[in-house]
Amino acid sequence: MLNKFTDNRFTFRNKALGISLILLVFVHAPFLVLAQTKKVEIQSDSSSFNRGNDPSVYTDNSVLNEGTWIKLGITETGIYKLTYSDLQQYGLQPSAIDPRNLAIYGNGGSMLPELNSAFRYDDLFENAVLVVGEEDGVFNENDVLLFYALNTVNWKWQNNRFIHEINYYSDTNFYFLTVKNDVGKRIQQQTQPSAEPLRETEYFLDYQHHENDLENLILSGKEWFGEEMSKSHPELQFSFQFPNRVTNRPVRFEIDIAGRSITETFNFSVSSNGQIIVNPLPFQQLSIGNSTHAREVYQNLTFNSEDDNFTFAITIDAENDNSEAWLNFIRINTWRKLIYEGTQLQFSNPDLTMENGIGRYKLSGIPEQVYLWDITEPLLPKSQEYILNGNQLEFKAFSDTLRHFIAFEASNAFSVENFKVISNQNLHAITSCDMLIVAHPDFIAQAEELAGVHYTDDGLQSIVVNINDIYNEFGSGKADISAIRDFVRMVYLKSNQQLKYLLLFGDGSYDYKNRIPNNTNFISTYQASGSLVETQSFVSDDYFGLLDQIEGLEMFGILDIGIGRFPVSTKEDAQVMVEKVKSYLLAGAEQNGEWRNNITFMADDADSNLHFNQAETLSQDVDTAFANLNIRKIYLDSYKRTVVPGGYRYPDANNSILSQIEEGSLIVNYTGHGGITGLSDEKVFTIGEIENLSNHNKLPFFITATCEFSRFDNPGFVSAGERLLLNPTGGAIALMTTTRLAFAHSNFAVNRRVYDAMFENNRQQIRRLGDIIRMSKNPTSTYIYNFVLLGDPALRLAYPKYKVEVTEFNGTSPSLTDTLGAMSEVVLKGQIVDQNEQLVSDFNGYLYPKMFDKKSKFKTLANDGASLAAFFSYFEKLIYKGKVSVKEGQFELRYMIPKDIAYQFGQAKLSFYAVDTTNYSDAGGYFNELVVGGFDDTVNQDQNGPEIEMYINEPGFKNGDYSSPNPVVFIQLNDPQGIHFLGNSIGRDIVLTYEGTESKQYQLNHYFETSLDAFDQGTIRFNLHDLAAGSHRLNLKAWDLHNNSSEFEIWFKVDQTASIAITELSNRPNPFSSSTEFVFQHNKPDQPLKVTIDIFNQMGGRVTQFTRETQSSGVLSSPIKWDGTRSDGSKLPAGLYVYNVQIEDEGGNVFNASQRLIILPLKE
């Protein structure tokens, strides 16, 4: 049965490059994979050029660029035939084809070399074929095309025997059929040499193997193992047939096998037809916790036998149930007679190889219509001249190299069992771009959207490429990871190294061949060679960025480009990542904030303070080099540890981590133990908590210097790191993270390099993530490969664009600041400057300044026996926080130092964040050239507490008024000394006491918002919920910075039928020209409301009316948009208008409120 394939096309045009790429999306219908054959043929090296660092060696266009192409899948080495009916099934019209133009392309079946300088074909290579009956220029029904094809097992002559190498990436090899515009390449005749042979033979050396890849023992690395043996299943048997074997020559037998036991040393042995050929050999016992998962044993031996057929029995003598063994492979070399028995016969004889020599081959059992091809060069076979005498065939051939031949008849040629018609493509036409996005067909649309996002954001030129196109054009159809690297290298060289970034848009897997259920090998990744020692096995995307000529082999080299990956396995996950990047890059009120000035360091306990010390070193590096970042430290050992069944926990530390993430940090950096389910042995920041994060507008960049937190290539489990990245409501924007077991010293080394590479030379702009990881991982090593970037390599962190600098401090130069004491006044002036220290005069918006008292000191608790008590400090205590206007890039602020400070003298710090409310550009900065301590004796201490105004729902409130069960409390506080609201003084909090059906106290510090340009006043809005019917009393207590308090009390009644009310009605923007949005606050949350808006001109005449249905979860209404038109769609003239908003609730209660708006003339 033939397997057909559906082909859908996407066309992506890169305007900047002026090229179009045809992107193919193949509906999953994989080629039929037949049982692996035991007999395959040799791949030889070619004498063609090696690709170096010269882009001119690449063709300008792929052969796939034009014409009709059929992709053929084969699984067995030998001669294949294409018949008239085959061509019809491929959708061709054989009778309309000139058979002389038929051509087969393909590059063989072995894996591409990892070393860049090693030979590989640049594009698909045309093979020599034979078309029987092509002479008349018509493909008739009896005509046939014959070609030699290799499967994916590569055999080569090494150390006096043939050895095999399976293809890690594919069990199916592919060839490509097309009809050219000219004559195709045909098999040439190879004549016999005229001289007499020095040697002759009637024998050939045959070879077979058994290797069945069923299980990856540690879910890592390229090596898979086959059939399993155990105490209950102690024996395996395998049979091989070698007809006409030369019995007077020994059989070479090789076996590779792995065994594991943590309770005993046990043996294995091998017999052939009942004869012991491998005496018992031990698998040494492994200790518990050993990083070696299993021990591998290899045996290479010869034995004598009179048999043609062999049954090999492998037996273990385990006594314990946990003892297991797995077969890797069996390989056999043995001599046979050159007797043709009606099937294809491939043969070679190493004994005939000699310098400048000629050998004679003698075959028997030959029919009249036999073909004999020299397949030493498998892509360019030749028709070997021979002499046939009866059924005896003999020929002479040069023997200066090991030659390979095949004898066959057209009738026993194999048929191609599966095919796919593919569309034209031309990746070789790509000559320049900044970023390549290699995407699985399922995610092409999302990848194109992301490319557009980057181009719009900063002009980054990206090209989206279908991974299957790469495999066709650079891997001869096979999903070889080196095809990806070779393609990337071509673009890198052709673009004169303009290419800087590679995004792999799709999840990866340790299973290249879809052997496990629900595999997620969308974009393959590089796996280490070994799969038995966990500390030596790794997964890495770095391979695709090792682009110099001498690099690539076994991951040798230095990264030339920055590489990231989106480990997505569904279209929904792909869209999540695109939306997160779009939102992160978006300039808007929701995305901006002081969180962009924050960095959080987290450290594990135990290990003699190793992780604590590393985190301290990192934080000191940042504090010294990037003082504008405000450091927060969450060290587990500084929190109380609790005992739970099965271990210990740090609940308070975990709450601090979650709170800090929700509050926001530009970077979160963790050092310590971890795994695929979370951080630390005490299980902090676990999967459940990660999935509940809702910090969508404050996404941090996570650096996790731990073990396998983000093991993205295990389809059986979605790691904590992946969930953190793919969380649609929050989590992280990207992670520089570990994927396997790692060592603390290498993690720490990379972590320090991250901060060395973080900023451009001007220290004002953060490099793109791809540049950071590239610079951090050079030089590299095995233990650094495990660090990967999960995220967009072209993304820059949301670090403020401009710099805030202080120009005047208390009337003098900032460099001449005097000591500030408690209750001192501070008057400060400053400005917003660009990277060149020039005033940004069009910056208009707000500055959010805050001042830290001297660094607070903390101490770890030595909770763990392997932890030591130690001190650490950071700027933690806030003594001022405000909101100030910025006009034309300049600002001025005034505030008071509170009475409650640490009176010892020391360095304090001012931190600034500013945002332009027009274009939402932002700025950050700091000022730390000031000393705080002692008491300002010149200040006259105030004795009066703050002035308090409090009401519910609306300003006209009077004691005893009625309210709904969900009232909104509004509070206004004023005091010339400022208000205590930062929560750093014991007993100085803003506290609301509720008395009703129960008594409650609410701390309102975090609800206090300082008034603009006024440190001495501010407001609070606080919602109460589900109050019962009856009387309720509220008491507010607040303090000023001189530690004076005041109280204020109101009371009200709750009635479920309370009238609806509107407050804070406005439209934004106002004035407007194109559209505006009406918003208001109301006291009917979670209820549907009918909103009617009437617009009146200055004469009182109604010019339009419109009605909307709305419902909001809080007291703030959903915006109602209006485009300034009448009901007939005509635009209202510019001018002043009055509008009335009427809302009606479910009970028919109505409330009206009015405001004014201005319509501006439309811009020409």
Within a domain: 435: no
- Domain CATH for 709: 3.40.50.1460
Quickly list H helices, 999-1100: none
Strand 382-384 and strand 371-374: pairing? antiparallel
Q: Residue 61: CB partners within 8 Å, gap ≥ 6?
A: 426, 428, 429
DSSP bridge pairs for 420: 71
Instruction: Determine what percent of the chain falls in helix, strand and coil, rounding each to the nearest 5.
Output: 15, 40, 45
Tell me which of 246 and 997 has the higher pLDDT: 246
The yes-or-no verdict on residue 131 having pLDDT over 70 is yes
- pLDDT (tens digit per residue) in 875-909: 999 999 999 999 999 999 999 999 988 889 999 99
DSSP bridge pairs for 966: none
Helix (H, G, I), strand (E, B) or coil at 837: coil
Q: Are residues 1081 and 955 in the same domain?
A: no
Measure the CA–CA gap between 604 and 610, rounded to whole angstroms.
Answer: 9
**8 A C-beta contact, residue 1014 and residue 880:** no
Distances (CA, A) of 590 to 454, 456, 711: 20, 20, 32
Q: What is the DSSP string of 644-674?
A: ETTEEE-HHHHHHHHHHHHH--SEEEEES-E
Sign of CA dihedral 608, 609, 611, 613: negative
Within a domain: 476: no
Q: Residue 54: CB partners within 8 Å, gap ≥ 6?
A: 493
Q: How remote is the C-alpha of 682 from its chain's centroid?
A: 27
Q: How many CA atoms does the CB half-sphere of 298 hold within 13 Å?
A: 3
pLDDT band with cut points at 50, 70 and 90 for residue 22: very low
pLDDT band with cut points at 50, 70 and 90 for residue 1164: low
Within a domain: 860: yes
- pLDDT (tens digit per residue) in 189-229: 999 999 999 999 999 999 999 999 999 999 999 999 999 99
The yes-or-no verdict on residue 25 having pLDDT over 60 is no
Structure tokens that stand for 45 in this block: 């090296």
pLDDT at residue 1058, rounded to an integer: 65
User: Identity (one letter) of the amino acid at 391?
Assistant: N
Q: Are residues 1107 and 1050 in the same domain?
A: no
| Strand arrangement, sheet containing 235-241 | 235-241, 309-316, 266-272, 275-283
- The model's pTM is 0.86
- pLDDT (tens digit per residue) in 908-960: 999 999 999 999 999 999 999 999 999 888 888 889 999 999 999 878 788 98
Q: Are residues 746 and 895 in the same domain?
A: no
- Please give the tally of structural domains in the chain: 7
Q: Are residues 176 and 47 in the same domain?
A: yes
User: Identity (one letter) of the amino acid at 353?
Assistant: T
Q: What is the DSSP string of 474-515?
A: HHTTS--HHHHHHHHHHHHHHTTT---EEEEES---S-TT--
- Closest to 625 (Cα-Cα) out of 529, 535, 756, 497: 756
Q: Are residues 310 and 347 in the same domain?
A: no
- Closest to 673 (Cα-Cα) out of 665, 681, 685: 681
Helix (H, G, I), strand (E, B) or coil at 245: strand
pLDDT at residue 587, rounded to an integer: 80
Q: Are residues 1090 and 1002 in the same domain?
A: no
Measure the CA–CA gap between 969 and 1083, rounded to whole angstroms.
Answer: 11
Measure the CA–CA gap between 558 and 781, rounded to whole angstroms.
Answer: 10
Structure tokens that stand for 673 in this block: 């133990």
Q: How many CA atoms does the CB half-sphere of 848 hold within 13 Å?
A: 17
pLDDT at residue 782, rounded to an integer: 77
The yes-or-no verdict on residue 724 having pLDDT over 90 is yes
Structure tokens that stand for 416 in this block: 């191609």
- Closest to 1010 (Cα-Cα) out of 1049, 980, 969: 980
- pLDDT (tens digit per residue) in 455-508: 999 999 999 999 999 999 999 999 999 999 999 999 999 999 999 999 999 999
- pLDDT (tens digit per residue) in 312-346: 999 999 999 999 999 999 999 999 999 999 999 99
pLDDT at residue 804, rounded to an integer: 97
Within a domain: 502: no
182 CB-contact burial (10 Å; exposed 0-12 / middle 13-18 / buried 19+): exposed
- Domain CATH for 1104: 2.60.40.2550
**Residue tagged 């990866």 (tokens):** 508
Last residue of a domain, one of 790, 814, 835: 790
pLDDT band with cut points at 50, 70 and 90 for residue 1085: low
User: Which DSSP symbol is given to 533?
Assistant: B
pLDDT band with cut points at 50, 70 and 90 for residue 53: low
Query: What region, left, alpha or beta, does residue 796 occupy, with left being phi > 0 and alpha being psi -120 to 50 degrees?
Result: beta
- Closest to 43 (Cα-Cα) out of 352, 487, 381: 381
The yes-or-no verdict on residue 6 having pLDDT over 60 is no
- Domain CATH for 849: 2.60.40.1930
Within a domain: 492: no
Structure tokens that stand for 178 in this block: 């097309």
Measure the CA–CA gap between 439 and 546, rounded to whole angstroms.
Answer: 20
Measure the CA–CA gap between 165 and 924, rounded to whole angstroms.
Answer: 58
Q: Give the structural domain span for 228.
A: 206-324
Q: Are residues 111 and 130 in the same domain?
A: yes
The helix (run of H) or strand (run of E) holding residue 450 is helix 444-458
pLDDT at residue 763, rounded to an integer: 66
The yes-or-no verdict on residue 1 having pLDDT over 70 is no
Helix (H, G, I), strand (E, B) or coil at 13: strand
The yes-or-no verdict on residue 18 having pLDDT over 50 is no
pLDDT at residue 1148, rounded to an integer: 86
Query: Torsions phi, psi of 1161, nearest 5?
Result: -65, 145
Measure the CA–CA gap between 1126 and 1105, rounded to whole angstroms.
Answer: 8
Instruction: Tell me whether the omega of the peptide bond preceding residue 779 falls within 30 degrees of 0, making it cis.
Output: yes
Sign of CA dihedral 362, 366, 372, 375: negative
Within the chain, what is the greatest distance between any pair of CA atoms? 126
- pLDDT (tens digit per residue) in 747-765: 999 999 999 999 877 667 8
Measure the CA–CA gap between 708 and 747, rounded to whole angstroms.
Answer: 12
- Domain CATH for 1043: 2.60.40.1220
Q: Are residues 637 and 666 in the same domain?
A: yes
- Closest to 1047 (Cα-Cα) out of 1038, 1034, 1057: 1038
Degrees (nearest 5) of the Cα angle 1141, 1145, 1149? 85
**8 A C-beta contact, residue 42 and residue 157:** yes
**8 A C-beta contact, residue 154 and residue 110:** yes
Within a domain: 359: yes
Last residue of a domain, one of 910, 934, 958: 934
When pLDDT is averaged across residues 421-449 and rounded to a whole number, the result is: 98
**8 A C-beta contact, residue 737 and residue 710:** yes
Q: Are residues 40 and 160 in the same domain?
A: yes
* Interhelix angle 744-757/769-776, nearest 10 degrees: 130
Measure the CA–CA gap between 387 and 306, rounded to whole angstroms.
Answer: 32
Distances (CA, A) of 661 to 123, 146, 656: 49, 65, 9
Within a domain: 676: yes
Measure the CA–CA gap between 479 and 470, rounded to whole angstroms.
Answer: 9
- pLDDT (tens digit per residue) in 1113-1130: 656 788 999 999 998 989
pLDDT at residue 1057, rounded to an integer: 64
Q: Are residues 255 and 109 in the same domain?
A: no
Q: Residue 408: CB partners within 8 Å, gap ≥ 6?
A: 78, 79, 344, 345, 370, 371, 373
Query: Torsions phi, psi of 265, nearest 5?
Result: -95, 125
When pLDDT is averaged across residues 980-985 and rounded to a whole number, the result is: 90
Last residue of a domain, one of 284, 300, 324: 324
Q: Are residues 622 and 701 in the same domain?
A: yes
Within a domain: 1113: yes
pLDDT at residue 133, rounded to an integer: 96
Q: Are residues 827 and 926 in the same domain?
A: yes
